[in-house]
Amino acid sequence: MDKKELFLEELSNLSKKFSMYIGGCGCCDSPFITDEDNNDILGNMYWDSEKQGYNVLE
């Protein structure tokens, strides 16, 4: 398995564990997180390189 496949496999397992799924369409509020019923949980998510973690714009 290459690095991308390993990432997607681990992301899939994490999504199933927490019932939270990452999506995006390339416009505002992308990427976003939804539940298994496609209800919005978080929007405007981004990687903070200083913090080395994800943040959400409120």
What domain range is 11 assigned to? Answer: 3-56
Q: Are 12 and 29 in contact (CB under 8 A)?
A: no
- Number of domains the chain is built from: 1
* Per-residue pLDDT at 26: 74
Tens digit of pLDDT for each residue in 7-32? 999 999 999 999 999 988 777 767 88
Instruction: Please give the average per-residue pLDDT across 20-47, as a whole number.
Output: 85
Higher pLDDT, 28 or 49: 49
Is a pLDDT exceeding 90 seen at residue 4? yes
DSSP state of 50: T
Share of the chain above pLDDT 70, in %: 97
